[in-house]
Structure 1
């Protein structure tokens, strides 16, 4: 019985027993550890459909180990489905998910939690909830989607977006486009690329709160079902051992996670979510601290969309533990794991053959991490680009601005106009407040690739990019345009300089001209209502994790 409820003779406890009995619980069930299965199952999101079945196996494990499971659901939006207007509502749901879990778990007095999650905003939302609640907690992700194979080449969902540009530029015909579009998602599971979902899913493993290999293994594998039973059994042990979330996740484990994400060329969205997690845990960390940490490791793997290798290739090559083995000298391998033992224990008993998918340090892809955190008069509080997704010829770029005040405007321009090589496409009023919601500009970014412009045209925004984005795309610029940041002052033709090696982004306009523009600045109004109005009123800037609840 939950030990925080008071004595059995209390009226609150009596009420609790009566209502729990209505659910089919016997007194001996009520006296067991009460385990919340926080499920994000949905049949409107392919990454989350497998979680319905997995929950059954988690439940079996809990019962076998002497616990009493109770399951409830939370929203699970798909970033890929929610394009255009729907994207406004995606990032705000991270905090809604966190808050709904916090409220439900605390109101019902559970003793432990199993978080079932898969996709981009659900994993970080559940992480924030776990940090706030601080109960014994284990995460389990749904597993990966099968890749689509055609003529010996594999395709994953990130390829769809690039195909839009390929079709528009005549690189592929309509029949090929339609065939690949309809067939590219072979099964349910997380998209088989190294986007935000799998970056954050594997981050869970590194910080110690999810079993190793849980993200990269196929959703349809029997091993995933067995793993779910193990998780169900283990959470009851954690409750008995009184090992809470914060027993595993602290500054040291977060730093391990940052180094892992950087070594694997992870999603730029991980920067946003890890900053939010640090704040939820009261861990002091700013964007500069993040940069120092991420730049301390070599990049030893590149996965789709930055290479031809998909998530199943990564799993076969040894996955998370192979990477940790290679960067072992850079991490704290004494950190404990929810499934038992430490990182060191797990690595000592692990072996995977060397392969081209995950490289050794002497053949690394890059020396100093996968991100470039940029500063300058265009981004006084910072901006982020995934350097490992940029062709080296674009590490330095200077060109004239072409300015847009929404994603829709830049999409229309790219489809209908001739883009001048050398230009910098500036997409503003897409920040947390300006959007509102900080949409991902994943389709315009992918269209650049599909149109063959990734070596001549850059794109910058105060919005976000997808974890599946590659190319010279700088996002998360702060302060954002809505707040009167320098990006709001850019005019067509202004020269913009981007230097990834020097970590600088500059607007090459005299300061007196910028001062004059600032005096005449008028915010572009975007009327919103409902949840988005509340979001705009409360949300923090991107460099602070864009938290709002």
Structure 2
């Protein structure tokens, strides 16, 4: 056991003395020590209840003969950080969380980890840490929030701002909506980034069945946490580690489920970062290849009317996998933290779809192709990402004049000020990983476009990124980004941009000679970055096309 480095031998008497100071007995020290990584705080609605999840995990560890030792990590609420400078810190927090877990689990050599995230960057950060450390580990999330009355959720409120601005609803109605759309704890109710990553954690094999969909407020979620605590002890006994589970088969399963579920475009940023920790390559072309052969089986908010609680009722992730398995799209031999393969789990659970409106049959999918498409062209030679399952049919192919903004704030002001017309293509640049810095998530502009009644006539192109709650022709992760001299930095007001999502094409209709002339004259806008954290991040971060991870040759 790794923990013997600090618990056994004459020379470790001082170490044991410190452990005695915690109240631990010699018996507890002799057992496997399990780090319980808790991201609970009183800021994030998805994390407000995680102390209760942690207590259930620790009970499970003790029942199975281990000694749990809890420690915290930070967590940013993307919803609260949205549309102001705070959002610059969200993506950098992913690396900080992964690093902090590595520090804690290396300085105090735990025998295993149970990781308790729930929202946005915390989930991929914990997966990254698990694969980097490669000690027995299991992830159990806090679970999804329930939807509000009449199927409302956080996106209803974001879009309500635009609706109120154009007089469709009153400010009083918006006020009532904001009080009820998020009814309690949990990760926001749709297939947004947090729930996408929690579902994919289950698919990858590092979380138990049900991890992505069991509602936060249920006793079933507490039982899952206890089971996770017990399961990690079996992983210790078998020395079954994350890199034994996360293989190329797990990669293929994760991307396939991503496409079938219609997950957040942020998964295209996070999955490459997660798998890179296992020394597995996942470039943008893989997403597009898998998308072309994987049917889109679910239309969860924001793409459709259903929420994660409906997905759970319909059979959850095992049911989606079982449906895809009918078409031979699932690697059944991939190992999981249950100690069994994916195929064995599906057979044991008798996984089946219980509501074919929430989870469509592979024979009658919502769409023949998956939820995400990768676009390329002179505007994004290294690729850009769109959630095509949430794009209106009339916006799948579109040309229009560019409306160019060098910040999210300037674009938002124009949208809410009525200065954007049907047919325009909004360009927001200098919001990429390095240029932002921090690659802000821009739910406010997309929600305001929809709230202003322009969702079926206006596209948005950016080197920044979007919330999983974004719907419409919102194309992000444009690479190279403007700060790296990408073509997006050369776009001028009124230039024509041609989008063709089915053809995976995005072109700036300006001849090469003119682009060369603009490139020679290019001067990036001055941006003063006072934060040491963001300055360091800007120097170290790579392109969104490679997951926005830190450079390896630091």
**Same-fold call, TM cutoff 0.5:** yes
Give the Cα separation in 1 of the matches to 2:19 and 2:545: 44
1:135 corresponds to 2:141: no
Q: Deviation of residue 252 (structure 1)?
A: 1.1
1:221 aligns with 218
1:540 aligns with 542
Give the Cα separation in 2 of the matches to 1:285 and 1:207: 14
Q: Deviation of residue 253 (structure 1)?
A: 0.3
1:99 aligns with 99
1:38 aligns with 37
1:252 aligns with 249
Contact residue 295 and residue 370 of structure 1 kept, 8 A: no
Runs of 4+ in 1 over 4 A off after TM superposition: none
Which structure 2 residue ranges, 5 or more long, are not aligned? none
1:146 aligns with 146
Give the Cα separation in 2 of the matches to 1:51 and 1:175: 33
Contact residue 50 and residue 188 of structure 1 kept, 8 A: yes
| Paired residues for 1:234-253 under 5 Å | 234-253=231-250
Which structure 1 residue ranges, 5 or more long, are not aligned? none
SS of equivalent residue, structure 2 residue 475? strand
| Paired residues for 1:284-295 under 5 Å | 284-295=281-292
Q: Deviation of residue 10 (structure 1)?
A: 5.7
Give the Cα separation in 2 of the matches to 1:456 and 1:525: 32
Give the Cα separation in 1 of the matches to 2:24 and 2:15: 11
Distance 1:10 1:484, change over 3 A: farther
Give the Cα separation in 1 of the matches to 2:198 and 2:118: 7
Contact residue 482 and residue 524 of structure 1 kept, 8 A: no
Q: Deviations over 1:200-234 (max 9, x none)?
A: 00001111111111221111111111111111111
SS of equivalent residue, structure 2 residue 79? coil
Moved more, 439-448 or 291-300: 291-300
Q: Deviation of residue 110 (structure 1)?
A: 0.2
1:270 corresponds to 2:272: no
Q: Equivalent of 2:293, from 296, 299, 302? A: 296
Give the Cα separation in 2 of the matches to 1:131 and 1:181: 39
Q: Equivalent of 1:189, from 175, 183, 186? A: 186
Distance 1:242 1:393, change over 3 A: same
2:477 aligns with 476
Give the Cα separation in 1 of the matches to 2:427 and 2:7: 62
1:360 aligns with 361
| Paired residues for 1:22-421 under 5 Å | 22-83=21-82, 84-149=84-149, 153-328=150-325, 329-348=328-347, 349-421=350-422
Moved more, 62-71 or 331-340: 331-340
SS of equivalent residue, structure 1 residue 213? coil
RMSD: 1.3
Q: Deviations over 1:506-548 (max 9, x none)?
A: 0000111111100000111211131000000100100011012
The normalised TM-score by structure 1 is: 0.97
Give the Cα separation in 1 of the matches to 2:158 and 2:309: 21
Name the count of aligned residue pairs.
Answer: 545
Give the Cα separation in 2 of the matches to 1:309 and 1:139: 25
SS of equivalent residue, structure 1 residue 330? coil
Moved more, 361-370 or 83-92: 361-370
1:518 aligns with 519
SS of equivalent residue, structure 2 residue 37? strand
Distance 1:345 1:427, change over 3 A: same
Give the Cα separation in 2 of the matches to 1:102 and 1:428: 34
1:488 corresponds to 2:479: no
